[in-house]
Amino acid sequence: MAVSLEQLKYPFSVEARSTAQKLARDVGSLIKILNEPGNDDLIDEAEERVFSAISQEEIKLPEIDREEAVLVYQAARLLVEKVCLNLNSPGLRRIQAEAESKAVNRHLSSERDRVIRSLCKESLGWQIESTGTSVERSRLPLSLRSFEYRIRFEDFLEVAPSFRDARWKLINRHLDAGWVPVRKSELYRLMSGKFKNLIVQSEIRVPTLPMRLTEAVQRFESEMETRKKEWEPVEYTSDSVTAFPPCIAQLHEDSINQKNVSHFGRFAMAAFLLKVGMGKDEMMRIFRAAPDFVQSLASYQIDHIKGKEYEPPKCKTMQDRSLCPVYLRTTFDPLCMYVEHPVQFYKTRTWENSKGITDHSWYARKRRKRQSF
């Protein structure tokens, strides 16, 4: 019997969990099923799922046309938990949680209203209501018309505090008799955020695994070891400038040469420099060269960006703001095609510099292209 598409898209749903429970009532029975010779495809798919998470690629739905397909997610969780246990680190669990929640968010964005409501109510135990059709909403005050749903504030607070943006603070939301109006996209973010939290908070006691599963675990461990250097936070040193992506290098150079840098450009550079560990004094030295430099204002702005933990803008935003010289075709670096964020560029280039790697042909072998120029 084939499993429904919804069960594969939403592993946290009551239906998916009950099918999985029916097939494998506990970890021991799951391992037994996975170890059966005819079920190699479940392990292959689970392995692929975890590798997609590690390499930050899209998690695909299992292509298995029988009920056991629902166990692919369970198997992927099992393998990840074993890696966490062996390495005594929850790192891979967090990576998996992030990737799985992104996949759910993607599926939700093209989901039917009926399924959304059922997932919220039956699977997450949330109370949500529709705020009516667009015609009905047009009678509401202007500030409330774009909110398609409302959710109970206690359910909103289950997830929203884990998001950094100020719009997720209850104090910044409209609250009416305990209901918080939310846009569709916000509801999807809350739902996928809850799924992410569920994974992060869950720990599975994994016993010794049979050979076929142990081999998969070893492959993840070796992959994690290879990538560890890329993920580790990097220390800012005086050589770090050589690892700046072209966008930041340009802003840095313009600032030092007293050229005018836009307000957003300064924000992008400050958020980036803070992220990579530059100290405030050094940042002030860079900003001091600006023609309109005001010490107290620059100091306040740096403290504000740091205090609010603002993330540096992604490549897409830099391109939209005409701050990406590669996109503007005034310079080129092959690494830009394999990143979506200037900090990703910086981490990889710092690692390459530390190893003396100047041949960049490995990008094409090891990484998926993320941008074309």
Of 193 and 312, nearer to ligand SF4 (C-beta) is 312
- Cα–Cα distance between 290 and 257 in angstroms, integer? 8
Q: How far apart are the first and last CA of the chain?
A: 46
Cβ–Cβ < 8 Å for 9, 110? no
Q: Find the part of the chain contacting ligand SF4 (CB under 6 A) among 157-165, 186-194, 286-294, 319-327.
A: 319-327
Radius of gyration of the chain (CA): 24
Instruction: Decide if residue 315 touches ligand SF4 (CB under 6 A).
Output: yes
Instruction: Decide if residue 271 touches ligand SF4 (CB under 6 A).
Output: no
Q: Find the part of the chain contacting ligand SF4 (CB under 6 A) among 145-153, 184-192, 241-249, 253-261.
A: 241-249
Q: Rule CB under 6 A: which of 71-130 touch ligand SF4?
A: none
In SS3 terms, 214-245 reads as HHHHHHHHHHHHHHHHHHCCCCCCHHHHHHCC
Cβ of residue 293: shortest distance to ligand SF4, in angstroms?
A: 24
Cβ of residue 261: shortest distance to ligand SF4, in angstroms?
A: 15
Size of the site for ligand SF4 (CB under 6 A): 13
Task: For helices 40-54 and 211-231, give the axis angle rounded to 10 degrees.
Answer: 10
Q: Which amino acid is at 144?
A: L
Instruction: Decide if residue 246 touches ligand SF4 (CB under 6 A).
Output: yes
Of 149 and 338, nearer to ligand SF4 (C-beta) is 338
Cβ of residue 101: shortest distance to ligand SF4, in angstroms?
A: 24
Of 302 and 326, nearer to ligand SF4 (C-beta) is 326
Strands 149-152 and 128-130: antiparallel
Judged by CB under 6 A, the residue of 120, 278, 324, 350 near ligand SF4 is: 324
- Cα–Cα distance between 30 and 23 in angstroms, integer? 8
Instruction: Decide if residue 268 touches ligand SF4 (CB under 6 A).
Output: no
Of 181 and 246, nearer to ligand SF4 (C-beta) is 246
Instruction: Decide if residue 247 touches ligand SF4 (CB under 6 A).
Output: yes
Cβ of residue 108: shortest distance to ligand SF4, in angstroms?
A: 28
**For 310-334, b where at least 16 C-beta lie within 10 A, e where not — what string?**
bebbebeebbeeebbbbbeeeeebe
- Residues β-bridged to residue 179: 152, 176
Instruction: Decide if residue 342 touches ligand SF4 (CB under 6 A).
Output: yes
Cβ–Cβ < 8 Å for 70, 7? yes
Judged by CB under 6 A, the residue of 11, 62, 193, 245 near ligand SF4 is: 245
Judged by CB under 6 A, the residue of 128, 283, 339, 352 near ligand SF4 is: 339
Place of tokens 């300064």: 266
Q: Find the part of the chain contacting ligand SF4 (CB under 6 A) among 37-45, 105-113, 219-227, 240-248.
A: 240-248
Q: DSSP E strands: which ranges in 171-211?
A: 179-182
φ/ψ region of 202 (left if φ > 0, alpha if ψ in -120 to 50, else beta) reads beta
Tokens found for residue 236: 């800012």
Judged by CB under 6 A, the residue of 8, 64, 271, 336 near ligand SF4 is: 336
- Cα–Cα distance between 98 and 78 in angstroms, integer? 16
Of 8 and 274, nearer to ligand SF4 (C-beta) is 274
Instruction: Decide if residue 318 touches ligand SF4 (CB under 6 A).
Output: yes
Cβ of residue 271: shortest distance to ligand SF4, in angstroms?
A: 13
Which residues of the shown chain bind ligand SF4 in the complex (CB under 6 A)?
245-247, 315, 318, 324-327, 336, 339, 342, 345
